Amino acid sequence: MGLSPYINALIIIQLLGVIVPSIGQLQKEGEQGQKVINKRTRYLTLPIAFVQSYGMIILLNSLAHGKIIDTTDIGLVLMAMLIVTTGTFLLVWL
């Protein structure tokens, strides 16, 4: 998935800055406000990455005609989602 969940979260936070006054104030506060916005962006990246990982697993599985993962086993799907999401957070950390 790369950094696409982080980029999506960053875009969402920037758009919320126009709508939500408290986020708009943080954007104007300078360095301290940017630290808070960066932290919130990373927190928002987690659910976005988790949802996108499910979509990616289903897509790859359908392209391989169901030979990659058994999607009826919810535990196996959740484990694969966790691994893909962890890879995304490793890239965000780097």
pLDDT at 43: 92
pLDDT at 28: 85
pLDDT at 7: 92
Residue of 5, 3, 84 whose CA lies nearest to 43: 5
pLDDT at 75: 92
Ranges of residues in the chain with a pLDDT under 70 are none
pLDDT at 48: 94
- Degrees, nearest 5: CA angle 29-48-39: 25
CB proximity list for 27: less than 8 A, separation 6 or greater = 17, 33, 34, 37
Query: In this predicted model, what pLDDT tens digit does every residue of 29-54 receive, in sequence order?
Result: 888 888 989 999 999 999 999 999 99
Total-model pTM: 0.81
Where are the chain's structural domains? 4-93
